[in-house]
Structure 1
Amino acid sequence: MALTTYALVLISLTGSASAQSILFYTNAGNTSFSSKTPLEDIDAENKKTQAILNTTTGEVAIRMNMKDFSFENKLMQEHFNENYMESGKYPVATFAGKITKTIDYSQNGEYDVSATGKFTVHGVTQNRTIEGKLKIESGKILITSAFQVALADHKIEVPQIVFVKIAQNIQVKAQYVLTKK
């Protein structure tokens, strides 16, 4: 889905596309994850994450293609897409929610924030509240967060043979620099 289409989906969540809606977006957000175990560390990064924020309503939407995660070890990338994430069947991960704090987006500043909404990975949607920071500076909005995703919560199965090499809770970090649409 193109970012423009995704923006329209986000706006439709508000019930109508208000002329007063102010949208900030990126299609080059950075989402990374790591799995740390005593036997192996696995790290991957996606620099093509799409994010959009409606500063009028506080609604936020994130979308990433699973195949856009890159790994240092290409074999790990292949296993990630084919065996664990089943990227052909579940090509995207999304979050659609609302920032729960009222923020004056016209003023520079830094805020501790949380967004509550629906988080979908591997075809499984969960209600989640994700904590993070939001910084407004020079007409841009920087959103950062770090949180864990339990594989079991999204029915991501790890074969017994590699079970001790893959953490059951994956650490996710996000950094998105949004500009006015």
Structure 2
Amino acid sequence: MKGIVCILFLFSYTVSAQSYKTESGEAIFHSKVPLHSFTGSSEHLIGLINLDAKTVDFYLDLATLDTGIGKRDRDMRETLETDKHPFAEFFGKLVSDFDPSISKKQTVMVEGDFKIHGVKRNVRIDGTLQMTDQGLQLYASWILKLADYNIKPPQILFVKVDQEQEIEIKAILTPTEN
């Protein structure tokens, strides 16, 4: 009997813990130039999802992005003007249903404001959420158009970085204390 009570208590805690956070999510971008592509990433994505309020809040210190080549990283920071605009930020709402009692991966959509390079735009982003033993697993991806955020793609001679950048985020968010 004590075992059943313990299991029910743990289950009710898991379902009632409706805020989840990460301080070590991963943000990845995929970029192209003619005849070449490269990827940059950071494992410093910070975020909070509140399932009761359906709020989603993430930000990334852009100086933590790394492509593996120092000069390219410096050029990227200069292009993004990280001295003036150090963060990429998203704040919005979960606009689709998510049931934390289901352990299968669920397709979700968020809508809100994404800000980078000092420009804020309303966006809709598709992704997945899945409740796991580790916490709330998040994956999302979207296309960011540099011109939408007044970002001039870097250019060397006649070779220019593509206007469209594929963005991905991945994270395991753990319950916050109420």
Say if 1:29 and 1:48, in contact at 8 Å, map to a contact too: yes
Q: Which residue of 1 aligns with 2:28?
A: 32
Q: Structure 2 stretches of 5 or more lacking a match?
A: 1-15
Runs of 4+ in 1 over 6 A off after TM superposition: none
Q: 1:118 to 1:162 in 2, by over 3 A?
A: farther
Q: Secondary structure at the match of 1:145?
A: strand
Q: Structure 1 stretches of 5 or more lacking a match?
A: 1-19
Letter matched to residue 68 of structure 1:
T
Q: Secondary structure at the match of 2:77?
A: helix
Looking at structure 2, the residues matched to 87 and 121 of structure 1 have their Cα atoms a distance apart, in angstroms, of 10
Give me the TM-score of the superposition, normalised by structure 1: 0.83
Q: Quick check: 1:59 aligned with 2:40?
A: no
Whichever of the two has the greater Rg, that structure is: 2
Q: Identity of aligned pairs, percent?
A: 26
Q: Quick check: 1:75 aligned with 2:74?
A: no
Give me the TM-score of the superposition, normalised by structure 2: 0.84
Aligned with 2:124 (options 98, 108, 129): 129
Q: What's the C-alpha RMSD, in Å, of the aligned pairs?
A: 1.7
Q: Which residue of 1 aligns with 2:38?
A: 42
Q: Secondary structure at the match of 1:125?
A: strand
Q: CA deviation at 1:134?
A: 0.8
Looking at structure 2, the residues matched to 130 and 26 of structure 1 have their Cα atoms a distance apart, in angstroms, of 19
Say if 2:128 and 2:139, in contact at 8 Å, map to a contact too: yes
Q: CA deviation at 1:55?
A: 1.2
Q: Which residue of 2 aligns with 1:17?
A: none
Letter matched to residue 59 of structure 1:
T
Say if 1:118 and 1:128, in contact at 8 Å, map to a contact too: yes
Q: Quick check: 1:22 aligned with 2:18?
A: yes
Say if 1:39 and 1:165, in contact at 8 Å, map to a contact too: no
Q: CA deviation at 1:108?
A: 1.9
